[in-house]
Amino acid sequence: MLTARLYRLTAVAGLASAAVLLVNTAKRAEVIPTTDATQLIAPLAQVFALALVTALFVAYGRSSGLLSTIGFALNFVALAALVGVEFVINLVFAHLPNPTIAELRTGPLGIALTVASVLFLVGTWTFVAALWRVPGPPRPALALYAVGSVPVALRAAVPEAALQVGLLLLTISVTWLAIHLWRNADRVSSAPA
């Protein structure tokens, strides 16, 4: 069982994830310039989200049974895989010509990117469905998280504007869930397992 201090630390990680998502959204919308620094921090959104998802599972998901365990595992693995996807997109593809990127996407890298995206979508929706069944997490935040995951998972097949909206929805939902976890840290840390 996590202590209130650890729940708050994971809430801070969630807020850091949301901040990076906001930077990624602003970069894609060309509100801020794409720089080496913005490219380098892009994968940190998923790194920080791993802590938040784990804390949400420990705080709420364990009482949702097998569905929650499966959803958490899928979501956790997908977020970890997306760290690699973000490194490739932001630190490799950003420096390659479009024909080379297209060629790389036709091989095993394309398969890996597709698997990570599908896993993210399935894992997110399964985890959200499990958390929806238990009291505690704010359902509107869960709904935004689920809806925002769709254009992000389908980023190669949706218009850029849809991807930006998805990133913004994820930013809002992750912020909301992190604040909720911070505010409820004492209560969830003292709840029976």
- pLDDT (0 to 100) of residue 62: 79
**pLDDT tens, residue by residue, 39-93:** 999 999 999 999 999 999 999 987 778 988 999 999 999 999 999 999 998 889 9
**pLDDT tens, residue by residue, 153-181:** 998 889 999 999 999 999 999 999 999 99
Report yes or no: 59 and 188 within 8 Å, Cβ to Cβ. Answer: yes
Q: 133 lies in which domain range?
A: 4-190
The number of folded domains in the chain is: 1
Is residue 192's pLDDT more than 70? no
Is residue 151's pLDDT more than 80? yes
Write b or e for each residue in 37-53: b if 16 or more Cβ atoms lie within 10 A of its Cβ, otherwise e.
ebbebbbbbbbbbbbbb
